[in-house]
Structure 1
Amino acid sequence: MRTLYIAQQGCYVGLSQECLVIKQGQVVLEEVQLPLLEQVLIFGKSQVTTQAIRACLWRDIPIAYLSRMGYCYGRVLPIERGYRQLVRYQQQLLAAERLMVARQIVQAKLRNGRVLLLRQRRKNESGLVDRAIEQLDYLAQEVLQAESIARLMGLEGAGAAAYFAAFGECIMGSEFVFMARSRRPPGNPVNAMLSFGYQVLWNHLLSLIELQGLDPYYACLHQESERHAALASDLIEEFRAPIVDSLVLYLIGRGMVSAEQDFEFRDGGCYLNDAGRRTFLRAFLLRMEERLQSADGGSRPRWDVLNQQVKAYKQFVYAPAQGYQPYLIR
């Protein structure tokens, strides 16, 4: 089963017998057999015929409409999807099972940050980066011994402090300076890009969580509340370094953003301006649309890595004894 991603703009999705046909103008981009589909995600401005929508609903295939940033405007869901017991299983997870997954999530975040620093060290030797790598390695081991969420959050905070202290050493653009992470509000251009990128990624994860029928407000690591979709905050942790942090370093290193022209200072903070957001989103979308080699020998867009992790978490909810394996880079 696969997810159909329609990320190119101006597409037209129609039905031909048992296939969805994706066209752009008169050019057929792809034909996908309905029995092989699990869901359809449409980014930006594309059209779907009534016949195609009806065929998807008949086969229990949801269709989601998202902005190009990954924000979900709404979904077309089959009626049967409203009667599942998944949320009840999710709420019945034991404290020990939630702690086990929280450990895995924090460890993955620390390990992925460590790998990113290792890659950057090959380009620029730094004693500060070396010390951060050692500290992240130590903390990743300590995480497995944590007996409470409070202890885990403390280790995660220590890891973030070490990681971001070294992150500034990896920035190659002379006009960009980064001393520490600041969020509300972002204090400088680098923090502005990090915050914006995390929000874009968080919105997309939230959409995928809801599409899978999970309760986004019931998580393992972060505290849930009526205003905080904590599960999206849990699952974003493993993707911060490999997707957003690496993209920020790429944009700066290639001279694709300007500290003077692409940012504005207001309300006590620094934010991407209209031109800066367009540049960032264009690079973000190109990266997420890149096709990666999959285990079955085919290729899938990077978007699908997120979807596979949400589905892995869903399987954990159904079978907690199997655990959850976060996304790790090498």
Structure 2
Amino acid sequence: MTLLRRQRKRLESTNVEAVLQSLDYLASQASLAESREKLMGFEGAGAAQYFSVLGDCLTNSDFVFTSRSRRPPGNPVNAILSFGYQVLWNHLLALIELQGLDPYYASLHIAHDRHAALASDLIEEFRAPIVDSLLLWLVNSRVIDAKNDFDYRDGGCFLNDTGRKKYLQAFLQRMEEQIQDDNGGKQPRWDLLTRQVKAYRTHLISQEEANLRSKSRRKQR
């Protein structure tokens, strides 16, 4: 929602304003969800609302976006999003494995067909501030060219070699930028991902230790 709030100030869009109100409501309902299924339902509804106005934030008329499409991505904007999410997901998966976590054991997403569900859990908070914001910059600054940086094949649209090179260069530059953390210090965006994976691991360990203590107390009674 932070990305849309920033865009609202620039665009003065009634559509964006309406979606932000809807997202606020869905977030309040999600905090009361009594099951994983209900929580994922609110998440899906929020994603649909969010993507319905992401196209309003594009100022380059060569790019049009009305909804999210995947497998295959249906147009250049979806191609950029899909490629960016995959790059970020792969990096998170590597960090998860480096921390000795089981990538197939997650809290929200369910592992299936060898899908590393934990990476899908942890990527959620980084999608908009990293991938979506980079999309807006690449498109609105005309770094990516709608005619020359994409291939249409297999029923979809994909970044070609030139487009992927442009994206990866911009992605690396964005991730190496120093940003202020919660403690007032500065660190590259890469470190935010590492910190979050470590925090998740610490939480799991503390929960396991709490469960062991609880079992021990019950045995002593």
**Corresponding residue SS for 1:270:** strand
Encode CA deviations 1:161-212: one digit per residue, 9 max, x unaligned: 1000010111111100001000110000000000000000000000000111
CA distance in 2, matches of 1:298, 1:241: 22
Paired AA for residue 189 in structure 2: R
Q: After superposition, where does 1:57-206 map in structure 2 within 5 Å? A: 114-206=1-93
CA distance in 1, matches of 2:168, 2:47: 25
Amino acid at match of 2:73: P
User: What 5-or-longer segments of structure 1 have no aligned partner?
Assistant: 1-113, 322-330
Identical amino acids, percent of aligned pairs: 62
Q: In structure 1, the residue corresponding to 2:72 is in which secondary structure?
A: coil
For 1:229 and 1:138, the matched residues in 2 are separated by 30
Q: Which of residues 262, 282, 305 in structure 1 aligns to 2:149?
A: 262
Q: Indicate yes or no: 2:198 matched with 1:319.
A: no
Q: Deviations over 1:264-305 (max 9, x none)?
A: 100000000000000000000000011223455543211000
Partner of 2:112 in structure 1? Answer: 225
1:320 Cα deviation from its structure 2 partner: 2.9
Q: CA deviation at 1:225?
A: 3.1
Q: 1:122 to 1:215 in 2, by over 3 A?
A: same
Greater percentage in helix: 2
- Tell me the matched-pair count: 208
More strand by share: 1
Counterpart CA distance in 2 for 1:298 and 1:178 is 37
Residues 296 and 123 (structure 1 numbering): CA distance in 2 closer, same or farther, change over 3 Å?
Answer: closer
Question: Is residue 209 of structure 1 aligned with residue 209 of structure 2?
Answer: no
Normalised by the size of structure 2, how large is the TM-score?
A: 0.91
Structure 2: state its 5+ residue gaps. 209-221
Give the equivalent residue in structure 2 for 1:271.
158
Work out the CA distance in 2 between the residues paired with 1:147 and 1:254: 43
Secondary structure in structure 1 of the residue aligned to 2:11: coil
CA RMSD of aligned residues (A): 1.3
Letter in 2 for 1:137: D
Q: Select which of 168, 174, 177 maps to 1:281.
A: 168
Could you tell me which amino acid in structure 1 is paired with residue 131 of structure 2?
V
2:165 is the counterpart of 1:305 = no
CA distance in 1, matches of 2:180, 2:51: 30
Q: Deviations over 1:94-117 (max 9, x none)?
A: xxxxxxxxxxxxxxxxxxxx1110
Q: Highest Rg: 1 or 2?
A: 1
How many Å separate the matches in 2 of 1:214 and 1:180?
Answer: 34
Shift of 1:226: 5.2
Could you tell me how far apart the structure 2 residues matched to 1:225 and 1:273 are?
29
Distance of aligned partners of 1:226 and 1:270 in 2 relative to their CA distance in 1, 3 Å threshold = closer
**Normalising to structure 1: TM-score of the pair?**
0.61
Change (3 A) 1:116 1:294: closer
The answer (yes or no) to whether the contact 1:170–1:249 under 8 Å persists in 2 is yes
Aligned partner letter, 1:202: W
Contact 1:217 1:226 in 2 (8 A): no
Residues 296 and 126 of structure 1: is their aligned pair in 2 closer, same or farther, counting only changes over 3 Å? closer
1:182 to 1:226, Cα distance in 2 relative to 1, 3 A:
closer
Residues in 2 aligned to 1:295 and 1:228: alpha-carbon distance in whole angstroms: 32
